[in-house]
């Protein structure tokens, strides 16, 4: 799967990249003040967390989003540096109130495509009701897909996949509860009723 990375556009994003010259890219992200929905706030924090996990804090502040310059000076591998930039850009988009979509599944992976389609359905139904769980599911999906081709991140990809499946299960349960209401108690469960006072008392 080929990913194309580009600089975020617009004055709003440029404002996020501005700041003290001594700040690292991750410090710039964490200094941002997110706007928008609760879901976009949660996406911002989840994608910033993924960027941090790839040591974006080690990338030089002045070349935070210059892939070639950052890679040459960073202790992380070129693939990891590009991935950190990708996650950071998604965090920036979420910080200005946008809701970036999960990445496309690899063209030759129908299983991943089916998971993505289910994730999109869950996001459309649950992102306003359970924004944190929805954002965590999306971030873990991206982590699963994008970390997998990088040998050093294969274990992280598997962990994200496990977390994603658990989060999708939780989102389904919340959706089912919303549609059907609380589950009835099991058969044979004693029902307690409050005794009403006798008339006139």
172 shares a domain with 136: yes
Q: What is the mean pLDDT of residues 172-184?
A: 69
Are 38 and 131 a contacting pair, CB within 8 Å? yes
20 shares a domain with 95: yes
For residue range 10-42, what is the model confidence (pLDDT) as tens digits?
323 333 344 444 566 666 777 788 899 999 999
The total number of structural domains that make up the chain: 2
Residue range(s) defining the domain that contains residue 126: 102-177
For residue range 38-80, what is the model confidence (pLDDT) as tens digits?
999 999 999 999 998 887 666 554 344 444 444 334 467 889 9
* Model-wide pTM > 0.75: no
106 shares a domain with 51: no
164 shares a domain with 130: yes
pLDDT for 8: 34
pLDDT for 20: 41
Whether 91 is in a domain gets the answer yes
pLDDT for 58: 61
pLDDT for 18: 42
Final residue of a domain: which of 100, 120, 150?
A: 100
121 shares a domain with 84: no
pLDDT for 174: 87
Percent of all residues in the chain with a pLDDT value above 70, rounded to a whole number: 64
């Amino acid at each position: 799967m080929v990913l194309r990375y580009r600089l975020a556009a617009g004055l709003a994003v440029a404002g996020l990249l501005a700041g003290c010259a001594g700040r690292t890219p991750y410090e710039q992200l964490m200094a941002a003040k997110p706007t928008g929905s609760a879901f976009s706030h949660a996406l911002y924090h989840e994608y910033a967390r993924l960027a941090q996990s790839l040591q974006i804090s080690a990338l030089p502040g002045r070349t935070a989003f210059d892939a070639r310059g950052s890679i040459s000076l960073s202790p992380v591998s070129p693939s990891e540096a590009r991935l950190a930039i990708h996650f950071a850009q998604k965090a920036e988009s979420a910080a200005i109130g946008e809701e970036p979509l999960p990445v496309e599944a690899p063209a030759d992976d129908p299983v991943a495509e089916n998971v993505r389609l289910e994730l999109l359905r869950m996001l459309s139904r649950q992102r306003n009701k359970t924004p944190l769980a929805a954002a965590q599911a999306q971030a873990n999906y991206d982590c699963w897909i994008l970390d997998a081709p990088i040998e050093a991140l294969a274990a992280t990809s598997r962990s994200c996949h496990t977390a994603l499946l658990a989060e999708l299960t939780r989102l389904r349960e919340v959706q089912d509860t919303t549609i059907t209401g609380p589950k009835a108690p099991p058969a044979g469960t004693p029902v307690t009723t409050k005794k009403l006072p006798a008339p006139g008392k």
